[in-house]
Structure 1
Amino acid sequence: MSEPLADPNIVRAHLVAAAAAGTAITYSELLNHLGYAFSRPKMRALCQTLGAVDAEAAERGEPELAVLVVRQSDGLPGQGWWVAGGAEKHGHRGSWEGAAAKTLVKRLQSAAFRYWSRRPPD
């Protein structure tokens, strides 16, 4: 496994802030917050960190946060989220695009928004 792009705690803090504000964040926006310009290699490295953030969230009994990081083009998580089990663990085995995918993502994002709007950030 390669060196993480950023400290998972810093990435988590950005995602918790987005969730508390009730908004998703694009890969480009999150990379910019972390001090990087968007590139596919940086995005892939970020996805590894997002997996670590979600694993820790699950251990804490918190809703997942990686689903908040979306493509600018359609507001959906990228391929990495879908193939890493993000969708399958929620029973979604269909397309990574379209109405069913958007419904799943909105449901998961709403859960994070509700949870973090009621809790103070760490």
Structure 2
Amino acid sequence: MSEGAGLLADPHEVRAILVASAKAGEAITYSEVLALLGHHFTRPKMRALCKVLAFVDDEAEARGEPELAVLVVRQSDRLPGQGWWVGGAKKHGHAGPWEGPKAARLIRKLQQEAFDFWAEG
């Protein structure tokens, strides 16, 4: 079985999309990522994308790079969806709501870390 087998998309392709987003200093929506991968937005596709994002972040962590999944946001409020918060909030010591000013500050901080890292590379 090859690396990433059974995933919606090739993790390397998803990583390339996210690195390009980080270099541009911009978050990207779930719909935009899915479209770049040749998919229409559906909730099942979004959930499948979240599995790929977790894989991408695990690899980034192993390389000492900042996480990238935090760049993928909902169009409505520009924050990551539940899939990110389930693991990401705890990892960053955030016990509050997954929306609102405190959540937005955490996301902006983590996104800025990715922007800064990839702007230098």
Q: Provide the TM-score with structure 1 as the length reference.
A: 0.95
Corresponding residue number in structure 1 for 2:81? 78
Q: 2:17 aligns with which of 14, 34, 46?
A: 14
Q: Provide the TM-score with structure 2 as the length reference.
A: 0.95
Shift of 1:43: 0.1
Q: Tell me, which stretches of 5 or more residues in structure 2 are unaligned?
A: none
Aligned residue for 2:99, secondary structure, equals coil
Would you identify which runs of 4 or more consecutive aligned residues in structure 1 move more than 2 Å?
Answer: none
CA RMSD, 1 decimal: 0.8
Q: 2:66 aligns with which of 59, 63, 67?
A: 63
Whole-angstrom distance in 2 between the partners of 1:3 and 1:82: 23
Shift of 1:96: 0.3
Corresponding residue number in structure 2 for 1:52? 55
Shift of 1:102: 0.1
Q: Tell me, which stretches of 5 or more residues in structure 1 are unaligned?
A: none
Shift of 1:18: 0.2
Shift of 1:3: 1.6
